[in-house]
């Protein structure tokens, strides 16, 4: 095939991708409060850019982000931060678009190398590139792992063809590509099984329909034997992934979700993904288990639908081998995320279809081309219909991209699609919270918790917001519920202890804090909350000890640095009063923090540090900025306190405040602290 034709098709794929997804760049889409904080916005190692320390951290087997081990993906985020920082999120989106375009082109080239059939391969790549179900993987910065792993998957396929045709050297290409794919996203564990399918079709190395042949077992054994190094990598990846997901609290226990529920959910999901492939409407960011009603009818229909399609694919497989290959590609590659090992609370997610749907697209494209092969009129009609369908899919995908503009738009759409989607309600609550609309956040949390009564994250959020509202009994109940559910148990216990302390239940507080420290002695959130409880009890020595331990775990955590600066600037204990150091720290935090993240009390702390070293003019100017910001945010009580401090600075009087009077609530945002998502500085 002419190189110009390949180039033209790849250019066409990339051009339409730019038209469909490009609005994330030219409309300046930002990050969303849906794992983007964990991967980029509040991850100090990633924010530091590409460094040797960061590379070592990323590849450390104990490192897990969002309960996953994917160091190569983290390196790509580090590179983006080095190139674009946080102020230009369009650069992060651009990288995802480029990876997606590269994956689509690589898929086309790999299939073309296998089959030498241009148009079905181009159709598969176009469906992959422009389908609405794939928007989530591309428009969401946190799903960089999808687009990267897919590119390496298809590159491994391309190399595998060269190996099959006699180039032993290209086996190294397969192995290296697969390793990079696994280190981008562990879902690549199914690649060796897909290569076995490709050995049947289109490579023609073996046929399962000849299993009675005396040579069949020997041939099958040889194909499996040659892939043993790949299966060894699979075993290592599974071990690392299960470790990361279990330690990250993502794996749902079998008693919490019975096996029969998992199987029914899995079969139903296979059918639902297939239905949404052909009719991609009502797509939402995430569908929780609580948003789905599992009934006997659901179970029967799920099993029946799955069995019928499997039977037809096998029955027609002799004449049309791409049908069973495509179907079992789809079924097999979904196994890691179909819910048999339930990870997280979601029952389905569009992103899970990114690689699996390639199997369905292969079956459709090659069947269609074969069906119209003998009639020029049918070929013309099929071409026109195919172009129309692709245009419709691209338009639907472009519309779906629009929902990823910001957190509230994203989860507002998900709630509109299904008001019983509790996880979407919680995401909407976080969006409102960070926007400063506490009332709407509270309403969304209440609606979500009515659906998802056993969703631990929701109870943590409810407790944090109830505590901020001053409703300590409600906060205590919520944190107690999240503790009972064992969701982030050390953090839940720490917050429960904090609430009990504010209720005056000192003994219960100490017991909860002690349990939290026992479960998480090196847990950043537990150490910070323990320090705050000690601070509010008047023990600056104990508080500073906890804060210093926490700082060793997260040296660039901005609120923690500001808390230590506050103690150093205004604390009565001479052992911890270092005004000059407080000025350096507070200036550093206020200058380096991401735009919009500096809080009024942080500026008040900087003003107090200036006053402590006698720089009263700067103290007055900074306190005035703090007062203006507090009034702008409608923080009436805080504005009153800052106003009193401003008056002291104008009288050239430094602050000296007991530890218990330090406003920890205004240094730490509880919702951020819950997940250690405070701005990381370097």
pLDDT tens by residue, 153-203: 999 999 999 999 988 899 999 999 999 999 999 999 999 999 999 999 999
Say yes or no to pLDDT of 304 above 80: yes
In the chain, how many domains are there? 2
Does 44 fall in a domain? yes
Does 352 fall in a domain? yes
Does 325 fall in a domain? yes
Contact assessment for residue 603 and residue 623, using Cβ atoms and an 8 Å cutoff: yes
Does 476 fall in a domain? no
**Which one of 343, 375, 403 terminates a domain?**
403
- Rounded Cα gap, residues 308 and 282, in angstroms: 25
**Which one of 403, 425, 444 terminates a domain?**
403
**Which one of 364, 383, 403 terminates a domain?**
403
Say yes or no to pLDDT of 254 above 50: no
DSSP 635: -
Angle made by CA atoms 161, 166, 172, in degrees to the nearest 5: 65
Does 508 fall in a domain? no
> For every residue of 11-77, which 3-state class applies, written as one string?
HHHHHHHHHHHCHHHHCCCCCCCCCHHHHHHCCHHHHCCCCHHHHHHHHCCCCCECCECCHHHHHHH
In this structure, of 364-368, 517-521, 598-602, the range with the lowest mean pLDDT score is 598-602
Mean pLDDT of 95-99: 98
Most confidently predicted of 283-292, 326-335, 418-427: 326-335
Q: What pLDDT was estimated at residue 589?
A: 86
Residue with tokens 């288990």, as numbered in its chain:
289
Under the banding of pLDDT at 50, 70 and 90, the label for residue 605 is very high
Which CATH number do you get for residue 577? 1.25.40
The residue segments making up the domain with residue 649 are 552-682
Does 640 fall in a domain? yes
Full DSSP string of 413-427: HHHHH-TT-HHHHHH
* Cα–chain center distance at 228: 31
Does 527 fall in a domain? no
Mean pLDDT of 549-565: 85
Say yes or no to pLDDT of 445 above 80: yes
- Rounded Cα gap, residues 147 and 242, in angstroms: 22
Does 450 fall in a domain? no
């Amino acid at each position: 095939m002419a190189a110009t034709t390949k180039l033209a098709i790849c250019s066409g794929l990339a051009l339409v991708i730019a038209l469909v997804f490009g609005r994330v760049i030219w409309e300046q889409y930002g990050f969303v409060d849906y794992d983007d904080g964990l991967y980029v916005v509040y991850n100090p190692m990633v924010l530091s850019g590409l460094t040797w320390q960061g590379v070592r951290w990323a590849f450390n087997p104990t490192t897990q982000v969002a309960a996953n081990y994917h160091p190569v993906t983290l390196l790509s985020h580090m590179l983006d931060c080095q190139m674009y920082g946080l102020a230009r999120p369009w650069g992060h989106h651009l990288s995802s678009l480029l990876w997606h375009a590269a994956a689509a082109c690589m898929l086309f080239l790999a299939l073309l190398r296998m089959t030498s059939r241009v148009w079905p391969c181009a159709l598969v790549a176009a469906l992959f590139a422009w389908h609405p179900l794939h928007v989530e993987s591309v428009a969401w910065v946190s799903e960089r792992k999808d687009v990267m792993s897919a590119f390496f998957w298809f590159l491994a396929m391309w190399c595998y063809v060269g190996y099959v045709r006699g180039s032993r050297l290209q086996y190294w290409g397969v192995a290296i590509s697969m390793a990079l794919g696994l280190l981008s996203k562990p879902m690549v564990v199914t690649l060796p099984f897909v290569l076995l399918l490709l050995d049947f079709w289109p490579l023609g190395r073996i046929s399962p329909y000849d299993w009675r042949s005396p040579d069949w077992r020997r041939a099958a054994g040889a194909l499996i034997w040659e892939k043993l190094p790949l299966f060894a990598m699979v075993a290592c990846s599974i071990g690392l992934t299960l470790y990361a997901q279990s330690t990250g609290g993502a794996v749902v226990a079998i008693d919490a979700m019975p096996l029969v529920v998992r199987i029914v959910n899995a079969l139903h999901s296979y059918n639902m993904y297939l239905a949404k492939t052909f009719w991609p409407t009502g797509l939402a960011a995430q569908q929780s288990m609580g948003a789905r009603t599992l009934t006997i009818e659901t179970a029967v229909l799920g099993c029946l639908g799955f069995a019928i399609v499997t039977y037809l694919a096998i029955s027609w497989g002799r004449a049309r081998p791409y049908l069973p290959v495509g179907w079992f590609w789809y079924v097999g590659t979904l196994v890691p995320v179909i819910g048999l090992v339930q990870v997280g609370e979601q029952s389905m997610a569009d992103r899970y279809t990114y690689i699996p749907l390639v199997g369905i697209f292969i079956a459709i494209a090659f069947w269609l081309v074969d069906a119209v092969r003998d009639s020029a009129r049918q070929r013309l009609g099929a071409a026109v219909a195919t172009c129309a369908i692709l245009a419709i899919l691209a338009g639907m995908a472009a519309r779906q991209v629009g929902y990823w503009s910001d957190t509230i738009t994203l989860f507002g759409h998900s709630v509109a699609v299904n008001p019983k989607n509790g996880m979407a309600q919680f995401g909407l609550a976080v969006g409102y919270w960070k926007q400063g609309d506490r009332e709407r956040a509270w309403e969304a949390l209440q609606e979500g918790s009515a659906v998802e009564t056993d969703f631990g994250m929701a109870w943590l959020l409810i407790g944090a917001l109830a505590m901020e509202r001053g409703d300590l009994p409600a906060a205590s109940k919520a944190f107690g519920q999240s503790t009972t559910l064992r969701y982030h148990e050390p953090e839940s216990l720490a917050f429960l202890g904090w609430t009990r302390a504010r209720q005056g239940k000192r003994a219960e507080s100490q017991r909860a804090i002690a349990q939290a420290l026992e479960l998480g002695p090196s847990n950043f959130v537990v150490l910070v909350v323990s320090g705050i409880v000690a601070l509010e009890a008047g023990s600056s020595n104990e508080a500073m000890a906890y804060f210093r331990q926490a700082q060793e775990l997260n040296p660039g955590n901005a609120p923690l640095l500001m808390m230590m600066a506050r103690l150093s600037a205004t604390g009565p204990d001479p052992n911890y009063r270092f005004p000059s150091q407080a000025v350096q720290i507070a200036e550093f935090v206020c200058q380096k923090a991401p735009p919009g993240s500096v809080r009024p009390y942080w500026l008040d702390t900087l003003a107090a540090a200036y006053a402590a070293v006698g720089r009263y003019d700067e103290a007055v100017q900074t306190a005035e900025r703090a007062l203006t910001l507090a009034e702008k945010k409608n923080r009436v009580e805080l504005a009153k306190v800052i106003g009193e401090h401003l008056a002291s600075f104008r009288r050239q009087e430094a602050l000296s405040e007991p530890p218990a009077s330090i406003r920890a609530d205004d240094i730490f945002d509880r919702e951020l602290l819950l997940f250690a998502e405070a701005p990381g500085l370097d």
